[in-house]
Amino acid sequence: MTTLKKGDQAPQFSALDQDGKGHTLANYAGKKLVVFFYPKANTPGCTAEACDLRDNFARFEANNYALLGVSADNAKAQANFRNKFEFPFPLLADENKAVIEAFGVWGPKKFMGKEYDGIHRTTFVIDEQGVIDEVITEVKTKTHASQILK
């Protein structure tokens, strides 16, 4: 699991979003960046989390935040998810798990007694200089925005 913590330099990443547009950490210099990792597009918990962030998007913008969602879904699944719920932020299609592994959120999980590898729902708040300000591992999907915008 993630060994990244508050005060660490955020990993340099590069990935394509649902529209094939590239995103890197450097693109967000001078902004606070919320990178939220979720297990799968269009599933109940992930939908609740992303919708809560969407519903509070104006608050994020007012406080100089940009948001990026990341999962291992392909671009088509991410585009469908974004369009269905009208998310105002990009969703990275990290199929090769480069960003997921750079942030250390891929690992063993348990569900109904079965163990498998998957994405741990984790959110990183990165400051204007690219330093991790907060790592949220106990994500409350329905009220996630208020966990970030304290």
How far, rounded to the nearest angstrom, does the alpha carbon of residue 109 sit from its chain's CA centroid?
A: 18
**Cα distance between the two ends of the chain:** 25
Active site residues: 46
Q: In this structure, what token pair is assigned to residue 110?
A: 């348990």
Determine the Cα angle at 22 with ends 63 and 123, to 5°. Answer: 45
